[in-house]
Each structure stands twice: as structure tokens, then as C-alpha cells.
Amino acid sequence: MRLGPIMFVGTGSDVGKSVVTAAFCRIFLQDGYSPAPFKAQNMALNSYVTPDGLEIGRAQEVQAAACGIAPHTDMNPILLKPCGNNISQVVLNGKPYGNSDAYSYFRGEGRDLFVKEVRDAYDRLATKHQLIVLEGAGSISELNLKANDIVNMSMALYAKASVILIADIERGGVFASLYGSIMLLDQEERSLIKGIIINKFRGDIRLFDSAKKMIEDLCGVPVLGIIPYFKDIYIEEEDSVAISKRGNCFIENRVNIVVVYLNQMSNYTDFAVLERDSRVNLYYSKDPSEIKKAQIIIIPGTKSTLSDLHYIRANGIASAILDAHKSGSTIIGICGGYQIMGEEILDLEGVEGDIKHMPGLSLLPLRTYMTHDKITNESEFILNSEFINHQLSGVKRDYKLDSFNVNMRGYEIHMGRSEYTCLNPKYLLMKPDGTKDGYWSEERLFGTYMHGIFDNSKFVDLIIAPYSNLFKDEQYNLNYNPYHFREDQFDKLAKLFRESVDLEKVYKIIKH
């Protein structure tokens, strides 16, 4: 049975649209349907590579996983990746289309093309699935941007979707935000609003009964659910809005790992598994004094390598990293962070801006050339056996060397190519085609272009092995499986929503 499309929109940004969409994706899957997510336009630095080597927003990959299907560019045909200075890279159907300043893009430059591509993607997706679960972006009532909107109500009108409006009660002003959002729509758009979901409610929901009735009378549509605030269900977030507040800067009897909080940090979900490792205390910081305290420092990926390199030099972070290394800390660079650890970065083609050359941290014998070509692919790899042996040398815990010679998985999203500046470089990993990537040093310095490398439990074991005296045996979880954990979280999320939402009314709305 084919159901009408449903769309979740918001009174503003960060009200929980992506998580709500993921919850309903899983519920519809559990109820025997074939759902698929769709977001016409996403703005995020947290992206993902599809199985066919194309790029979409990470949120749509998460939602696809909740649907039990592989991610596809039709689920997110336009991805905007901020580069700084109000410039974003426009990724169209998974491939870089060009750079645009915010004024030109949101004033409608190229809008006809984008509208066509977005609608074509939606139509293709709708022919393959029983139910499309759409997500809006930001607020539905930004009047100054409405004329060129391709992601909110204009998309809802095209899809003839039943629209559910989400408000974040934790922010306050829920009455005004809901009523104002609906009343600022024109009549045709307003007719699509079929219900309201109140998100992030704290306390006894019974105390909200009278408020619920007031909202329904005021807005003329039912409140379909009130979702309690939760912290015990882990769903990957769309972007790093609150990431700098995670974690304490130092905990005893843990391996303390700090991720340097860069201005243009991308793919922060690289560290999701580390956040849940009981042996590790992971935190994010741009404070040099906090960075120095960690046993392991990770320089993450960035959309603007040269800009963030300049930033960490100007704010004392680079000096803190170098001082920490001299004191024995491990330094790891991922993608842009790997480039930053090298000797120099050259941008002779002006890929990132006007800076043509900048010296790196000179921690690795590496020279990087920025190029317009973008590399996006998923890949298997194996670790260099010399790296494995070195990491385990002198470690008293009983690690079996053979157990680390296994296929691992990751993905690449980067612009620029790096070359070694030394003879006989110590590569970190090798792909099935013999391509070598990364570099490792006996001084506990290593880096790679491979995102998702920390999702491989054996790699995590290797990087913390030299510090294994800091944690107890009972903290070591050998049974952790990222896939099973993720599936369990989707099911927990669906259970919470089943308890909090009137699903009978939801189905009645989309079965019209």
C-alpha cells in the first residue's frame, strides 16, 4: 500500500527535525512499509559518501539507515558546505557544482536548475518507495528567503505532502513560534499543515494538557505528540552545534583524547565511537591549556584547511599541540588535520582562497597541493604491520597480533593531494588496489585521509594500547559492534515516539 508523503518542518533551526524524521523512518519500516528520507537542500559540514562514491548530508545517511536502505544522492540532491566568508561549496547530486556566496545562492542564482534537479530527485525516489519522509530546513517562515525556497513549503506543495510542524519547547516561546510560523504562511501553504509535535519537553507531561488544548485552538491543527527530552538515546546529529560542550577536559583512569575544535571542522562523527568507549574520555576543545592535558590529540577534518591552520597558529593551539607532543602525547590528523600536520600546504589554484602557501606544523614529512578535484569514495583497507607491531611493543596487556591484520572500512572526502617529502615513507594503511595512504612515525605521530577509521574497533585498540595502564580490564568492551549499537538506538527512538505520538492520527493523515 502506498501512503502519501509526510514532511517534518520546524519553527526554527535545531528544533530536532532530523531526529524526528529518523524516528518516523524507523517506525514506518517497523510497520512493514518501504520508506525513504528526502531533504531537498541541506547545509552541513558533516557529510557522507554513498556506496557509489557520491556525497550527501550525514543526516540523510542516518535516516536512510533508519529506513534499512543504502543512502543515495536522490535523498539529498543539494548539499551546501560552508567554506567561510559566507561562501559555500554547492554539491549537486553528489558532485561539486561550484562555490557560491550566500547572497547569490539565496537570491535565486541558478534557481531554475536547482528546482528541476530537486524535483527530479524526489520523483525518482517516490517511484521506488511506498512512503517518502521529507525534512525541511531552518524555519518555514523566513519571509525574506521565501521567494527562492526550494526545501520547505515549496517542496511540500510540489510533493503534496502532509506537513507536521515541530517546535522546541526548551527554547521557550512555543506558543508564539507555532502560531507565528503558521500565520505567516499563505493559505495554500497553511492548508498543508496537518499537525504539531512539541519536542524536548522536560518534566511531567500531564502539566502540559491545558497548554496542548490552547495550542490546538490557537493554531487550528492537532498536537500529535509531545516528545520528552532524552539523553540516553544516541542518534548522530546533523551538525556540530553543541559539540564543544561535550566531555570533561580530564578524567583519571581514562585515556584522555581531545579533538581540536576547529572553526570549519567537518565530519565530527568520525569520533562517535570514541565518545562511547568506556576506556576513553573524549572531549572537544579550542583551549590550549585543555589540549595540553590529553594523552592523545586529534586534529580533525576541516572544510577550510588553510583558514583553520591560520586559526590554530593565531590562537596558541598549534603551540599547545607541539608542546604536548614534546611531552609525549600522541598526535593524530584526519583528512584536513593530516594536511595540517605536514610541512607545507600550497594552494596555487586558489581553491580555498587567496592564501597561496602556508607552512604546516612539520610533524609529518608531507607536502599538500590543494586541487579543484574532489575525491569521494568508500574503501576497505589494512593497516601497515610495522605500525601494528610498533603500537603493541612494550604493552603488557595480552593483545594478539594476528587479530589486527583484518580488513577495515572507511571513506574519503577531500580536495587536495599529499606527497611524502622523505625517502622510504612509513605509510599507515593500504587499500585493496595497493594504494597507500597516511603516515606513521615512531614518535607517536600519524595521520590519514580516511574518515571513519575510528569506527574500526581494532584501530581504536591500537591507538590507546600504549596507554592501557590507565584503564582497568573491566572497562574493555570486546563485544561492541557499531552496526548493532546503531540499530538498537533506532529501535529505542522508535519506541519513545510510539509512546509519545498519536500514530493512529498520523496514519489517518497520510492515508487520505
User: 1-59, pLDDT tens digit by residue?
Assistant: 779 999 999 999 889 999 999 999 999 999 999 999 999 999 888 889 999 999 999 99
pLDDT digits (tens, 9 = 90+) for 243-301: 655 667 888 889 999 999 999 898 888 998 898 888 999 999 999 999 999 999 999 99
User: Residue 456 is part of which domain span?
Assistant: 254-471
Average model confidence (pLDDT) for the chain? 91
Residues 467, 326 share a domain: yes
Q: Quick check: is 139 in a domain?
A: yes
pLDDT digits (tens, 9 = 90+) for 482-503: 788 899 999 999 999 999 999 9
Q: Quick check: is 249 in a domain?
A: no
Which entry of 72, 129, 414, 451 is annotated as an active-site residue? Answer: 451
Identify the pLDDT of residue 12.
93
**What CATH number did the domain enclosing 347 receive?**
3.40.50.880
pLDDT digits (tens, 9 = 90+) for 51-72: 999 999 999 999 999 999 999 9
Residues 492, 432 share a domain: no
Mean pLDDT of 413-426: 92
Quick check: pTM over 0.75?
yes
335 is catalytic: yes
pLDDT at position 400 over 80 = no
Q: Quick check: is 459 in a domain?
A: yes
Mean pLDDT of 418-441: 94
d(CA 388, CA 405): 8
d(CA 361, CA 342): 6
Residues 490, 381 share a domain: no
83 is catalytic: no
* Distant-in-sequence, close-in-space partners of 96: CB < 8 Å, separation ≥ 6: 89, 90, 372, 374
Mean pLDDT of 468-483: 68
Residues 274, 178 share a domain: no
- Expressed in percent and rounded to 5, the helix, strand and coil fractions of the chain are 40, 25, 35
Q: How many degrees, rounded to 5, is the angle at CA 79 between CA 193 and CA 125?
A: 60
Q: Quick check: is 242 in a domain?
A: no
Tally of domains in the chain: 2
Which entry of 25, 67, 335, 414 is annotated as an active-site residue? Answer: 335
Identify the pLDDT of residue 313.
95
Going by C-alpha positions, the residue among 241, 286, 280, 289 that lies closest to residue 262 is 286
Q: Quick check: is 182 in a domain?
A: yes
Q: Sorting pLDDT into bands at 50, 70 and 90, what band is 475?
A: low
d(CA 474, CA 172): 43
Identify the pLDDT of residue 87.
81
Residues 307, 388 share a domain: yes
